[in-house]
């Protein structure tokens, strides 16, 4: 007897850039086509020059990351996220966290370049590290993406995961 097990989610790295918002929106179409859950992940770290124990500052990189993720979700889904959608704000460096998340992902989706990109580069450091080291397939989303503006999901199929 073969048991059908819930597929691992499609994990999307979100940094608030236009590429990550478009990647999240496109990943939702793929998740719907594959009947897979969708998880958006944002990471945060303390800047090198900031003392996290300084009582003189009330700024929080974690709170900024949470706001960034909420704004990206609103922009990607016009305030209406798909079913089986979760989001996580995780402390750590983006590439390391996303590669770790790839252990439990059916696919990892990242934008080609985030906020720190140099003009002319095809891949940023995070997308390059994920493509090289993730333990699942990686989709590097380039923006602007030229695909038909349709609500129809991409035509994809996948074999059920066996236990």
Residue 120 reports pLDDT greater than 50: no
Task: Compute the average pLDDT of residues 107-123.
Answer: 67
Task: Compute the average pLDDT of residues 61-83.
Answer: 93
What is the value of pTM for the model shown? 0.80
Matching residue, tokens 């750590």: 92
Distances in Å between the alpha carbon of 156 and those of 29, 36, 58?
A: 10, 12, 47
Q: Which of 29, 31, 25 is nearest to 6 (CA)?
A: 31
Parse the chain into domains and list their residue ranges.
10-45+59-141
Task: Compute the average pLDDT of residues 70-89.
Answer: 94
Phi, psi of 120 (to 5 degrees): 95, -15
Task: Compute the average pLDDT of residues 63-78.
Answer: 95
Confidence of residue 86 (pLDDT cuts 50, 70, 90): very high
Q: What is the pLDDT of residue 55?
A: 60
The yes/no answer on whether domain 10-45+59-141 falls in CATH 3.40.50.620 is yes
């Amino acid at each position: 007897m073969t048991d059908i097990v819930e597929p691992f989610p499609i994990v999307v790295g979100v940094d608030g850039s236009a590429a990550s918002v478009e990647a999240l929106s496109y990943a939702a179409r793929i998740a719907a086509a594959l009947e897979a859950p969708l998880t958006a992940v944002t990471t945060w770290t303390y800047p090198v020059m900031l003392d996290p124990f300084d009582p003189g500052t009330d700024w929080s990189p974690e709170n900024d990351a949470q706001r960034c993720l909420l704004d990206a979700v609103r922009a990607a889904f016009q305030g209406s996220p798909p079913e089986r959608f979760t989001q996580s704000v995780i402390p750590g460096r983006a590439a390391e966290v996303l590669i770790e998340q790839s252990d439990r992902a059916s696919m990892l989706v990242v934008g080609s370049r985030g906020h720190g990109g140099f003009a002319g580069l095809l891949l940023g450091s995070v997308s390059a590290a994920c493509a090289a080291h993730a333990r699942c397939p990686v989709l590097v989303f380039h923006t602007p993406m030229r695909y038909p503006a349709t609500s129809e999901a991409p035509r994809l199929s996948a074999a059920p995961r066996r236990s």
